[in-house]
A and B are shown apart, each in its own frame.
Chain A
Amino acid sequence: MAETTYLDAIRTAMIEEMARDERVFLIGEDVGLYGGAFKTSAGIIEQFPDRVIDTPISEVAIVGAASGAALMGMRPIAEMQFIDFITVAYDMLVNFTATSRYRVGSPCPIVVRGPAGGGVHGGPFHSSNPEAMFMNRPGLKIVAPGTAYDAKGLMKAAIRDDDPVIFIEHKYLYRRIKEELPEEDYIVPIGKANVRRRGKDLTILTWGAMIYLADEAADDLARDGVSTEIVDLRSILPFDEEAILESVAKTNRVLILHEAPLTGGAGAEFAARIADKAFDYLDAPIKRVAALDVPTPYSPPLEAAALPAKARVLKAAREILAY
């Protein structure tokens, strides 16, 4: 069986959902004949000529039009060419799209997806991880797959979901990650974490591309005799509180690892939740490893220093273990 890249997992999920449901369409910049800046939509317009809409450079119009169409019963997928540009549509997303069901009872089931994350020297405007800025504006679901399997299954779940979903794709993983995927149709439910590695001494709670950094750190720790459990959250909102607490109850030590900047990051919410609901289980303070509180710099040495790296994960892990 051929292996599927993370990027192709997303692409085939969209194609299969468009074939399954004629309400599904794709709207964005350069998504049609060009096939998207990363070729995530390559070949889709040939299969569905009326259901791929190339737009002007207008993120507000893309998200707004997707939302209006969703109110009429369509299932739009709105592409942000880079997820950084979602901020242009922030107002539309948090004020119109996210609130529609709660305010007036009108569901607004759109998927807003786009490439996020650093490690590819994209600089300050092509490297961001936007999850935290949407967590405090109720009404949106947020997912961030790290594997090809999850990318496909979560994309299908997001398209079928009756509420708006922000789908954060990690561009570093697009062609670097390849997996054998099931032939049959499957979804990965939104809100369910995946325990990627079982362990008993330390929990690393993480998501997106950081799961691979957690793997590397866990391998190193294993050489010291430390058994690490890696919980891949996959869904940031709603998040799998049960899985988090279960792992904390088992290991009693938690490191939260995310690629977005530290202060006000999603990790702060998870840390607070653990402190609130599992304080008695903790044998050490919760530690967070995240990007420095700076815009993502361009030059490789600066970028590497700004983003989480294995040495920082190991240092924090050893502090937790030694506490």
Chain B
Amino acid sequence: MTQDATLTVTTSNNVHGLSHEQLLEIAYYLRLTRTLEERLVALFRQAKVIGGLYRSLGQEGESVAAAYALDYNQGDVVQPLIRNMGAILVAGAKPADIIKQYMAKGDSPTRGRELNIHFGHPARDGFIGQISQLGDMIPVMAGITLAGRMQKKNLVGLGFIGDGGSSTGAFYEGMNFASVQKLPLVVVIEDNGYAYSTPTYKQTAAKTLADKAYAFGCHGETVDGNDVLAVYGAAQRAVTRARNGEGVTLLEVKTFRMKGHAEHDNQAYVPPEVVEEWKAKDPVVRYEKVLMELGVGTPAGFEAIQDRVRREVDAATDEAEKSPMPDPSEAGKGLFAGDGYWDASNG
């Protein structure tokens, strides 16, 4: 553990077997997530993003670290919610596709039918976009991992849910069923302080969100969500348990939503001193500091990563801006098989 005396923030430096290359790859994904979101904010302000924009500022660490614990070559599947763009980037989502989704372009992965990161076919992409009804993706992830077991694939699923989402009935049904079946599923509950404007203490009387694991009879654990290596370590242990047939893990990550629910929300309901307190715990800054202490990263090295990220995001933005809007004649197509709208590659 390293300690910053001025901030009294403790950060773990156990690398859990990650190579230098992998540690730097995580740093790359963290910077990519933050930079891509900043670009989306700029596009939003230019009215080029059609719908809402939901930031993950301050939460990038747990999204990237948890998703990094999966093995996408083995068929593992990650399921994000709106603030887990970092997770699907780790799984292989392309920044240009994400920008096209936000801009509602005709050659986005969903051809303009769906918003933001609501895309991805689990068997092909290693990630599956969520729907907006919170909790519903937990039963779906149970089904994905159940299918993996029936198909004798040794795949693991990892899904995200929030403090708010974990109040839904679908969450409980999915967790209960997955736990009974001992499915290879990891569910990361992000306690980021607020569900829209509702603080976590109005969401649940449970002392911690991980306490909900007792009722399911699955493994439960709480970890500092802004400590990248701590999240990675906990997620890696959970993935190993899942792959070894030891069933479900409910992994609570304590983090904080540094922006409002969406760009329109100035989160006046959050005390400013709380935001300041969490600013000092920024996961990207903490992680890079640890890498420097470990002799893995250097300021020049991080600057080079940032240059690479900027170039990639610039290129992705150019590609997305040049993309056409969808043809209105397509609105009625692709509801059912048989009209040839979606090619066979999706299913």
Contacts and interface: CB of A to CB of B under 8 A. Distances in A.
Interface of A: 25, 50-51, 53, 55-56, 58-61, 63-74, 76, 91-92, 95-96, 99, 101-107, 138-139, 141, 161-163
Interface in B323-342: 334-338, 342
Nearest to B79: A68
B337 to A, nearest CB: 4
Given A65-B177, A71-B123, A104 B151 contact: no
A105 B345 CA distance: 9
Contacts of A95: 131-133, 136
Given A73-B147, A101-B337, A103-B118, 10 more contacts: A51-B150, A58-B176, A60-B173, A60-B174, A61-B142, A63-B139, A68-B122, A68-B144, A72-B143, A107-B347
A61 B147 contact: no
Nearest to B115: A103
A59 B150 CA distance: 21
B139 A64 contact: yes
B136 A91 contact: yes
Nearest to A25: B150
Contact of B150 (A74, A107, A162): A74
Nearest to B129: A104
A103 B121 CA distance: 11
B337 A107 contact: yes
A105 B133 contact: no
Contacts of A68: 122, 139-147
Given A51-B150, A71-B144, A61 B139 contact: yes
A102 B335 contact: yes
Nearest to A74: B147
A69 B109 contact: no
B148 A105 contact: no
Contact of B335 (A51, A71, A139, A161): A139
B131 A96 contact: yes
11 contacts: A56-B173, A65-B142, A68-B122, A68-B139, A68-B145, A68-B147, A70-B143, A101-B334, A107-B337, A141-B336, A162-B347
B57 interface: no
A96 B121 CA distance: 13
Contacts of B305: none
Contacts of A60: 136, 139, 169-170, 173-174
A163 B176 contact: no
A56 B173 CA distance: 8
Contacts of A106: 121-122, 128, 346-347
A73 B177 contact: no
A56 B33 CA distance: 39
Interface string B145-168: 111101100000000000000000
Contacts of A99: 131
Among B140, B150, B336, max chain A CB count under 10 A is at B140
Contacts of A70: 143
Contacts of B181: 53
Nearest to A163: B336
A16 to B, nearest CB: 19
Contact of A104 (B118, B146, B148, B338): B118
A53 B173 CA distance: 15
Contacts of B136: 60, 64, 91-92, 95-96
A102 B113 contact: yes
A66 B336 contact: no
B68 interface: no
Nearest to B141: A68
A107 B173 contact: no
B6 to A, nearest CB: 47
A225 B2 CA distance: 96
A106 B122 CA distance: 9
Nearest to A94: B133
A59 to B, nearest CB: 8
A95 B121 CA distance: 17
A162 B336 CA distance: 8
B337 A162 contact: yes
Nearest to B181: A53
A72 B334 CA distance: 19
B122 A71 contact: yes
B143 A69 contact: yes
A72 B140 CA distance: 11
Among A64, A92, A101, max chain B CB count under 10 A is at A64
A38 to B, nearest CB: 23
B144 A91 contact: no
A72 B144 contact: yes
B18 interface: no
Contacts of B176: 56, 58, 61
Contacts of A73: 123, 147, 151, 347
Contacts of B174: 60-61, 64-65
A59 B174 CA distance: 10
B141 A104 contact: no
B56 interface: no
Given A25-B150, A56-B180, A105-B334, A67 B140 contact: yes
A96 B133 contact: yes
B271 to A, nearest CB: 35
Contacts of A56: 173, 176-177, 180
B59 interface: no
B120 interface: yes
B146 A69 contact: yes
Contacts of A139: 335-336
B194 interface: no
Contacts of A67: 139-140, 143
B139 to A, nearest CB: 2
